[in-house]
Amino acid sequence: MPYRAPLADFRLLLDLTGFAEVAATERFADATPETVEAILSEAGKLCENTLAPLNRAGDKTAARLENGVVRTPAGFVEGYREIASGGWVGISADPAYGGMGLPIALTSCVNDMMGSACLALQLNPLLTQGQIEALEHHASDALKAIYLPKLISGDWNGTMNLTEPQAGSDVGALRTKAEPLGDGSYAITGQKIYITWGDNDTNANVSHLVLARIVGAAAGTKGISLFLVPKIIPDAQGNLGARNSLNVVSLEHKLGLHGSPTAVMQFDAAQGWLVGEENKGMAAMFTMMNNARLAVGMQGVAIAEAATQTAVAYAMGRTQGKTPLGNGAIIDHADVRRMLGQMRSETFAARAIGLACAVAIDMGRATSTPEWQARAALLTPIAKAYGTDIGNEVAYIGVQVHGGMGFIEETGAAQYSRDVRVTSIYEGTNGIQAMDLVARKMMDGGEAAYRLIDEVEAAAEAARSSQPALATAVWNASEALREATEALVGQDLNDRFAGSVAYLRAFARILGAHYHLQAGLADPARLPLAAFYITRLLPEYAPLLAQTREGAAGLYALTPEALLA
C-alpha cells in the first residue's frame, strides 16, 4: 500500500498538545496556521511521492563501501537532494544561518512523515539537525559561521561519534585522544563505531562531532571534550580544501536500515576544533543527544504508522474463510480487528506524547520558564522509550496480521520490524531512559510529574459530564500514578531503577489515555478508538505500577546459577 501522510492526526494533536501557545510567543510568531498547513502538506507530498518509493529498494540494496568510498542505494542521492533543496534539514535552525526558525513540534511532524516513508534516508537529516543544535549552543562564532550554513542547507551532513568497541553506555571509558597542535586545533586519534551516515555519496562533506580526551585530562567523563572533525577541511569561507586524516574502516552488516551506512571510523591525528569548553564535552554532546532522543522516539512512531497502514490495507484485501460480517476479508475477524485497533491506538498515543514533548521544548525555549523546561525534560525519556517500544510492538503485530505473508519479505511487513528494532537501543537504551526518568528527572521530588498529573486529572474531571465511564477510568489511573510517584521518590535509587521501566510504561499508558480522551471529545468519530485504548490497554497501568513498589531485592535473588538452570 502506498504511504499516506497522517495530516489529520498532526492537525488534531498540535491543537490538543498546546501548539497555539507556541505560535503565540514572540519567538515563534511566524508559525501561523497558514505556515503550519503549508509545512505539513508539502512535507507530506515529498514523503508520499519521493521518499516512500525508495524504502524497499534501500532495504534490498544496502549501502556499501567500494575502494574507500561509501555508495548509498539507487535513488538516495536524488531523494536527499529534494530534502535539502526544500529546506527540510533546517526547519528549526537559526534564521541567521539560513534556517527557518520554526518550532521543534513542526520538525517532529516532518520527521515523523519522513521516517514512515524511508527511515534509512531520514537518519541523515535527523543527525544533522542534532549537530546543528549542538553547534548553535556550544560552538565558537567562527565555527558557527563556517559549519552552520552548510549543515542547514544540507550541503554537508553531521554525525555523532561517541561509541568505541570498549566504551558503549560507559562513555567515560573512551580511549580517543586529542593533542593540541599549537594553532588552536587538535590532532584526534582513535576509533569510533556505530557512526550513522559516517560517510556517504549524498553530501559534499561530513562534519563529525567526536568525543575525545585531551592528553593529560582526568579519567572518566570529567575529562572528556567535544571536537568538530570534518572529512574535508574547509577554509574560513566554507570552501573545501584538503582531505582530513580519517577514513571508514568498514560498514556494519545490520538487522535492518540497510540503506543507512553505519560506519566504523578511524581518526589518525585528524585535525579537529574544540566545541565548547575543555573537559565539558558531555554537556555539549548531551545537547545533541537530547534532540536526538525525541527524534528517535518519533522514528518509532513513524514505523508504527507505516506498519499500521500496511496491515490495515492487507487485512481489507485478504479474504480467508467465513467472517462475522460476511464479506470474507480478514479485517472482519474479531482478533484481527483487535490487533489493528491496538496498532492504530498505540501509534496515536505515542505520537501525542512525542508532540507534547516537542511543544514543551518549544515553550521552554520561547519563554525560559522553568516549569516548561522541567516538563520537556520529564517527557523526553518517556517520548523516546514509549515511542520506540510502540514502534517495535506495532511492527511485530503487523507481521502477525499478515500471517505467513508477514514472514515473506515481499510484503514489506518484516522490513518495518527489522528497521525499527535499533530505535529502542540507540541514543540511550530504553532501560537507560527509564532510569533517567526516575532518577535525574525526579530530583525535584516529583514536582514536574505532579503538575502533569494534575492536568490529566483536571481534564478527566471536566470530561465526566459527557463521557463518565472513560473519564473516570482516566482519572482513577492518574491518581494511582500520583500515589506511585509519591512512593517512588521515597525509594532507594537502585529500588527505583528496578521498577523504572514499568513506571515509565505506566506513565505513558496514562498520558496516552488522556490524549485519546481529549481526541474523542474534540472529534466524536474518534471516540471508538479512544474507548478501545482506555478500556482495553489503559488497565495495564495497575500491574505496571505494582512492579514499581517491588524494589531490587527480588531481582538479585535471581543469581547467575538460577538464570542458567
Task: Determine the longest span between alpha carbons in the chain, in angstroms.
Answer: 80
Grid coordinates of 554: 527480588
Q: Tell me the three cell numbers of residue 133.
A: 543544535
| Cα gap 383→363, rounded to integer Å | 17
Q: What is the DSSP string of 469-537?
A: HHHHHHHHHHHHHHHHHHHHTTS-HHHHHHTHHHHHHHHHHHHHHHHHHHHHHH-GGGHHHHHHIIIII
Residues β-bridged to residue 69 = 66
DSSP-assigned states of every residue in 205-242: EEEEEEEEEETTPPSSGGGEEEEEEESEEE-TTS-EEE
CA 30 to chain centre: 25
Report the half-sphere exposure of 249 (CA within 13 A, side-chain side): 12
**233 contacts 241 by C-beta, under 8 angstroms:** yes
Q: In the 8-state DSSP scheme, what is residue 252?
A: -
For the annotated catalytic residues, the residue numbers are: 427
Query: What does 314-364 look like in DSSP terms, one character per residue?
Result: HHHH-B-S--TTSS-BGGGSHHHHHHHHHHHHHHHHHHHHHHHHHHHHHHH
Note whether 511 and 356 are within 8 A (CB): yes
Cβ-contact 319, 328 below 8 angstroms: yes
- Given a contact cutoff of 8 angstroms between Cβ atoms, the answer to whether 76 and 61 are in contact is no
Cα–Cα separations (whole angstroms), residue 267 to 144, 146, 246, 290, 539: 23, 22, 4, 25, 52
